[in-house]
Amino acid sequence: MSVPDYMQCAEDHQTLLVVVQPVGIVSEDNFFRIYKRISSVSQISVRDSQRVLCIRYRHHYPPENNEWGDFQTHRKVVGLVTITDCSSARDWPQTLEKFHVQKELYGSTLYDSRLFVFGLQGGVAEQPRTDVAFYPSYDDCQAMEKRVEDFIESLFIVLESKRLDRATDKSGDKIPLLCVPFEKKDFVGLDTDSRHYKKRCQGRTRKHVGDLCLQAGMLQDALVHYHVAVELLRSVNDFLWLGAALEGLCSASVIYHYPGGTGGQTGARRFLGSSPADAANRHRPGAQEVLIDPGALTTNGINADTSAEIGRAKNCLSPEDIIDKYKEAISYYSKYKNAGVIELEACVKAVRILAIQKRSMEASEFLQNAVYINLRQLSEEEKIQRYSILSSLELQASPVHRVHVFPAAARVLCAVPGVPSPRAFTELCVLVAGTHRGWAAVQMRLLHELVYASRRMGNPALSVRHLSFLLQTMLDFLSDQEKKDVTQSLENYTSKCPGTMEVITLPDGLTLPPVPFTKLPIVR
């Protein structure tokens, strides 16, 4: 897995992943009109139950990330909705074939799929099908949300079946070993009859069942399974999956303590499985981990009747313990170079939680760790996306300590061979512009970094504008030597590109206004 999702938050672990994609040629406007309506159905209440099913939609998802679905089930694409134009019955067979080809991309993990066809009427469109919905046009597609709800209910039926099958596994000692892609070659030829191997299988399956319970809206059951998985996996030093079990425990606890979500306006998903009264009575600081007696388990490590354990699992991790367990999980992930994306996303999730807890120093530590996690070779655009999002997270969690990420991002962008694309770099410039408050030393450092990076970009006009801004806003804080250095640098840059009072328009449409000097250094 090589593509991180920087918008990940802890409550995403309770969601089912549904991919919405076009089939054939569909205009971007029409696709996103329908995508917006589909993705509006993000939660449904399960019939005859107090449980709630949460859905996470994506219009693009790398198939290689799907291979980590056994490790963390919220990464598994379980639903596919495709959108297509088809105005002629002659084109229908080819359209249907494309739909089946699309399903094969995620075929090993899909629970169900749907095809929404626009423009086809009569004949074929009148034949009843459960997996295909026909609409006369993009403007005339009533009851689409109801079809999406029915689709989600079909996903729940499959999810519940898989959860029950796993939880009541009758295979005894022969539990299959769940693996991530890079592990498979390491287990060839191992003694499958050893006690160590059986415990590994039990622990991973317990963790997997915990994931399924969390997705199925069974929070307390999930907590039980995660606690047992932690005990089993710790006993056999299965560090990668131990980290996943700890992260699952953290996610369930976050959902319990923060029902409003941790992802902010764009990512928050309210967990509706508990009442406001329950939220008011939740145990807060000082909550203890549940200690499950492994001896009470069945031979395969899975106990279908968790009611006795649930009674002891009313208290999940406290807010303080959540962060400690995230640190432990991340330390285990860091042992595996192929788990870099998992480690990075875990850092991002922890920062979002720390922002709510207003623990800015610890948030900064997690972000510093995230900056130095090695992934594959990133393009300039990907680097900008990475550091911009991490920087915005640091601003959210710690306005005073935002100095850490910005200079690091600028230095990375300037150090790569060649000249970075102006469009990519200017996004970082705009993030810093307009934040004139806080420590003067911090702002001067950032502006110097921007001037240096602008020079490396081969854009002297940007360098002049940033130096002018520095001189105008920081003059009262500069020493005599610093004033001399800045004015000398400005003289050097303006000899190549004279300063102007024109607005500098950046490639993405943002603008840098001119700097009218109202403070001038006295030169003797």
> DSSP letter string over 278-311?
HHHT---TT-------GGGS-TTS--S--HHHHH
| Beta-strand pair 43-45/52-58 | antiparallel
Looking at residue 346, what is its pLDDT? 95
Residue 424 has which token pair? 């990519």
The pLDDT tens digits of the residues spanning 193-241 come to 888 889 999 999 999 999 999 999 999 999 999 999 999 999 999 999 9
The pLDDT tens digits of the residues spanning 66-82 come to 889 999 999 999 999 99
Q: Is residue 236 part of a domain?
A: no
Looking at residue 314, what is its pLDDT? 56
Looking at residue 398, what is its pLDDT? 61
What CA–CA distance (Å, rounded) separates 359 from 367? 13
Residue 140 has which token pair? 């005339």
- Confidence band for 416, pLDDT divided at 50, 70 and 90: very low
Mean of the pLDDT values across residues 353-360?
90
Looking at residue 403, what is its pLDDT? 47
Dump the DSSP string for 60-73.
Answer: ---HHHHTTTTTSG
Statement: residue 172 has pLDDT above 90 = no
Using the 3D structure, point to which of 167, 198, 224 is the last residue of a domain.
167
Q: Is residue 163 part of a domain?
A: yes
Q: Is residue 139 part of a domain?
A: yes
Could you tell me the residue range of the domain that residue 90 belongs to?
Answer: 10-167
Q: Which of 326, 73, 78 is nearest to 222 (CA)?
A: 73
Statement: residue 273 has pLDDT above 70 = no
Statement: residue 65 has pLDDT above 90 = no
The pLDDT tens digits of the residues spanning 180-194 come to 988 877 777 677 788
Looking at residue 7, what is its pLDDT? 87
Q: Is residue 39 part of a domain?
A: yes
Residue 453 has which token pair? 């990076």
Looking at residue 521, what is its pLDDT? 63
Q: Which residue has the higher pLDDT, 170 or 336?
A: 336
Domain count, the chain: 2
**Helix count and strand count (H, E) for the chain:** 19, 8
**Highest mean pLDDT: which range of 208-222, 390-404, 442-456:** 208-222
End-to-end CA distance of the chain: 61
Looking at residue 319, what is its pLDDT? 92
Helix (H, G, I), strand (E, B) or coil at 134: strand
Average pLDDT, the chain: 80
Q: Is residue 225 part of a domain?
A: no
**Window from 89-103, 309-323, 363-377, 406-420 with minimum mean pLDDT:** 406-420
Using the 3D structure, point to which of 167, 182, 208 is the last residue of a domain.
167
The pLDDT tens digits of the residues spanning 9-42 come to 999 999 999 999 999 889 999 999 999 999 999 9
Is this prediction's pTM over 0.85?
no
Residues of the chain above pLDDT 70, percent: 80
- Confidence band for 269, pLDDT divided at 50, 70 and 90: very low
Q: Is residue 361 part of a domain?
A: no
What CA–CA distance (Å, rounded) separates 251 from 7? 15
Dump the DSSP string for 346-389.
Answer: HHHHHHHHHHHHT-HHHHHHHHHHHHT---SPPPHHHHHHHHHH
Mean of the pLDDT values across residues 335-344?
91
Helix (H, G, I), strand (E, B) or coil at 276: helix
Q: What angle do CA 8, 364, 463 make, to 5 degrees?
A: 95
Using the 3D structure, point to which of 135, 152, 167 is the last residue of a domain.
167
The pLDDT tens digits of the residues spanning 120-166 come to 887 887 888 889 999 999 998 888 999 999 999 999 999 999 999 88
What CA–CA distance (Å, rounded) separates 513 from 504? 7
Statement: residue 266 has pLDDT above 70 = no
- Confidence band for 268, pLDDT divided at 50, 70 and 90: very low
Statement: residue 313 has pLDDT above 50 = no
Residues of the chain above pLDDT 90, percent: 39
Helix (H, G, I), strand (E, B) or coil at 114: strand
Q: Is residue 510 part of a domain?
A: yes
Q: Is residue 179 part of a domain?
A: no
Q: Which residue has the higher pLDDT, 99 or 423?
A: 99
Mean of the pLDDT values across residues 75-103?
92
Q: What CATH number does the domain containing 48 carry?
A: 3.40.50
Looking at residue 383, what is its pLDDT? 75
